[in-house]
């Protein structure tokens, strides 16, 4: 097959980084890795089933059930419906200390339906897609938990492995309610991972956030015949949006504010009696988020007053920033280095070659592409993610550590059709197995080394501060089970 210059450079990079990533496994690691390798096709099938379902937050009934049934078959005791959430569950194997928990997600994003091909092709009739790779997250974490279970069982060792089935990460803050209800209170350490366009396990933080829906109510009237009798709810939304957009000049520069108008009226010739706008506010510091959000609420109240409408607010989600623990990150990075990255097949190279032009500017292609096969070097400077995650709340309740695995073509942003496409073909499951192996090896290290757990817990207590008191960003509300309806 004839290759262009990009294809040649990709192959050269793949060869170089394959050699860099290879490390010697000890006997125990070989057995764990071998067990996962033997079942990689099985786990790929599970992830594809969840990819096909593409169920959104708190509606992931079938996706959650698939993972629960897999864990039950492997001997886990499964408690479902935890924290008042029908799709949340905890799967447990073993007894006694330590208790190591692994997080699993499985919700999709609305409006992101895409076939597993390298050009934009929407799946007709499908309303959502796994643009953040949570079908891989849930499956890979379950695979890791099962591998740890096999290791515990074979060695007759004490200790408990838990798989935490966590719904509605995308704006629904499922883990926040699980933290608030004490689901993690018995865990000593929590492990997680996330699909990405590269491999790394450096200590990282994230943006705290609050999200909610501002609902304006006005008075309907004929927009031409009697407009003076109406009070437009859409005017309320637009007035709020104008004020919040002006506010952007006067907030800390790391702040992120974004919104969509989810309801704007029914017909142009009817003054809208109801309109709704859905907002997110983010910042690395959760107290800044709270302050910005309170100003947005005042803008909504002012907009209602100025347009003769009324406004109600439903806070649908909110998450803390991630609390990084360097000692845990070092332990996980060591195992990721052992596992290494992933090698693309000729078919996957062809897929990437076709996809890359839609992602990056010329001249950036080859360096970005090579990141799929190497592991980012460890850095003691905590990285800041551009997004938010409800794993943040978990990290302030229990020492927590995570990694990123290259389930997407390097250069691919999350929440894109390109991420959906790569996650639905063979590249996604390959990256997923990198994560599963790393999680399993790290969990086993924690079972074998109580000192590592004690060090991590001491580091965590110091980072969290003695006077820390957890107060969920969502307050005392119940889970917003209908936020995607």
Residue 371: predicted pLDDT: 79
| Interhelix angle 27-38/40-53, nearest 10 degrees | 50
The answer to whether residues 263 and 182 belong to one domain is no
Mean pLDDT over residues 34-58, rounded?
A: 98
Say what the pLDDT of residue 380 is: 83
> Within this chain, do residues 193 and 212 fall inside the same structural domain, yes or no?
no
Q: Do 243 and 299 belong together in one domain?
A: yes
Same structural domain, 263 and 340: no
Split at pLDDT 50, 70, 90, the class of 383 is low
Residue with tokens 């063979």: 426
CATH of the domain at 246: 3.30.70.360
Buried b / exposed e over 296-313, threshold 16 CB at 10 Å, is: bbebbeebbeebebebee
Q: Which residue has the tokens 């004839």?
A: 2
Say yes or no: 167 and 297 in one domain: no
Report if residue 470 sits inside a domain.
no
Is the pLDDT confidence value at 285 over 60? Answer: yes
Instruction: Compute the distance between CA of residue 394 and CA of residue 175 in angstroms, rounded to an integer.
Output: 7
Q: Mean pLDDT throughout 260-264?
A: 97
Range 22-44 average pLDDT = 89
Any idea what DSSP says for residue 227?
G
336 and 243 in a common domain: no
- Over range 48-77, report the average pLDDT: 98
Asked, for residue 473, whether it belongs to a domain, the answer is no
User: In this predicted model, what pLDDT tens digit does every residue of 70-114 receive, in sequence order?
Assistant: 999 999 999 999 999 999 999 999 999 999 999 999 999 999 999
Average pLDDT over residues 41-57: 98
Using alpha carbons, list the distances in angstroms from residue 112 to 52, 156, 160, 334, 418: 12, 45, 37, 35, 10
Q: What is the mean pLDDT of the chain?
A: 92
Classified as helix, coil or strand, 153 is: helix
- Domain with 302, as residue range(s), is 208-319
**Cα 22-25-27 angle, rounded to 5 deg:** 160
Residue at a domain's end among 257, 290, 319: 319
**Model confidence band, residue 384 (pLDDT cutoffs 50, 70, 90):** low
pLDDT reported for residue 365: 55
- 195, 228: one domain: no
pLDDT of 25: 79
pLDDT tens for 432-455 read 999 999 999 999 999 999 999 999
Q: Measured between alpha carbons, how far is 213 from 215 in angstroms, rounded to an integer?
A: 6
Task: Name the domain boundary from 284, 319, 354.
Answer: 319
Whether residue 161 is contained in a domain is answered as: yes
410 inside domain: yes
Last residue of a domain, one of 319, 348, 382: 319
Domain contains 441: yes
The neighbour count for residue 295, using CB atoms within 10 Å, is 15
For tokens 């990084």, what's the residue? Answer: 324
| Cα 409 to Cα 349: distance, rounded to the nearest angstrom | 10
Does residue 214 share a domain with residue 165?
no
Please state which of the ranges 347-351, 370-374, 403-407, 472-476 shows the lowest mean pLDDT.
Answer: 370-374
Averaged pLDDT, 189-206 = 95
% of the chain surpassing 90 pLDDT? 88
Whether 475 maps to a domain, the answer reads no
Residue 485 lies in a domain: no
Q: Are residues 258 and 391 in the same domain?
A: no
Residue 9 has pLDDT above 60, yes or no: no
Beta bridge partners of 282: 209, 256
What is the predicted pLDDT for the residue at 23? Answer: 54
Judge if 228 and 121 occupy the same domain: no
Query: What's the pTM?
Result: 0.92
Q: Is residue 471 part of a domain?
A: no
**CATH number (domain holding residue 140):** 3.40.630.10
175 and 279 in a single domain? The answer is: no
Convert the pLDDT of each residue in 320-374 to its tens digit: 999 999 999 999 999 999 999 999 999 999 999 899 889 865 555 555 667 789 9
Asked if pLDDT for residue 126 goes beyond 50, the answer is yes
**164, 95: one domain:** yes
Total structural domains within the chain: 2
Q: Is the pLDDT of residue 2 over 50?
A: no
Residue 359 confidence (pLDDT): 85
């Amino acid at each position: 097959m004839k290759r262009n210059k990009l294809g040649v450079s990709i192959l050269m990079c793949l060869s170089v980084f394959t050699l860099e990533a290879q490390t010697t496994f000890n006997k125990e690691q070989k057995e764990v890795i071998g067990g996962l390798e033997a079942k990689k096709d099985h786990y790929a099938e599970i992830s594809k089933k969840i990819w096909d379902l593409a169920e959104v937050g708190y509606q992931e009934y079938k996706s959650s059930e698939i993972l629960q049934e897999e864990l039950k078959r492997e001997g886990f005791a499964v408690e479902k419906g935890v924290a008042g959430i029908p799709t949340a569950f905890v799967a447990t194997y073993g007894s006694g200390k330590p208790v190591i928990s692994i997080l699993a997600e499985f919700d999709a994003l609305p409006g992101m339906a895409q076939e597993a091909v390298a050009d934009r092709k929407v799946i007709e009739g499908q309303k959502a897609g796994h643009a953040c790779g949570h079908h891989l997250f849930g499956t890979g974490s379950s695979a890791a938990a099962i591998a740890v279970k096999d290791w515990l069982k074979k060695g007759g060792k004490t200790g408990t492995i838990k798989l935490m089935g966590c719904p509605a990460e995308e704006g629904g803050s499922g883990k926040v309610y699980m933290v608030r209800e004490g689901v993690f209170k018995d865990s000593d350490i929590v492990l997680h991972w996330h699909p990405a366009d590269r491999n790394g396990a450096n200590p990282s933080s994230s943006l705290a956030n609050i999200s909610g829906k501002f609902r304006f109510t006005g008075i309907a009237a004929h927009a031409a015949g009697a407009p003076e009798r109406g009070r437009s709810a859409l005017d309320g939304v637009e007035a709020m949006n104008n004020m919040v957009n002006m506010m952007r000049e006067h907030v800390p520069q790391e702040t992120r504010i974004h919104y969509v108008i989810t309801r704007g009226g029914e017909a142009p010739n009817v003054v809208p009696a109801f309109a709704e706008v859905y907002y997110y506010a983010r910042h690395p510091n959760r107290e800044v988020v709270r302050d910005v959000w309170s100003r947005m609420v005042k803008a909504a109240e002012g907009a209602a007053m100025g347009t003769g409408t009324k406004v109600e607010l439903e806070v649908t989600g909110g998450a803390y920033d991630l609390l990084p623990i360097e000692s845990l990150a070092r332990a996980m990075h060591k195992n990721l280095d052992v596992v290494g990255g992933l090698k693309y097949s000729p078919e996957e190279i062809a897929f990437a070659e076709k996809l890359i032009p839609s992602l990056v500017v010329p001249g950036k292609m080859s360096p970005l592409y090579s990141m799929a096969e190497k592991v980012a070097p460890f850095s003691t400077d905590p990285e800041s993610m551009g997004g938010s995650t409800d794993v943040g709340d978990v990290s302030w309740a229990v020492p927590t550590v995570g990694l990123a695995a290259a389930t997407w073509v390097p250069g691919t942003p999350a929440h894109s059709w390109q991420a959906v496409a790569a996650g639905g073909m063979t590249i996604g499951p390959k990256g997923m197995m990198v994560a599963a192996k790393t999680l399993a090896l790290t969990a086993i290290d924690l079972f074998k080394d109580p000192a590592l757990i004690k060090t991590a817990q001491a580091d965590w207590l110091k980072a969290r501060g003695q006077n820390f008191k957890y107060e969920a960003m969502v307050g005392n509300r119940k889970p917003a089970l209908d936020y995607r309806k």
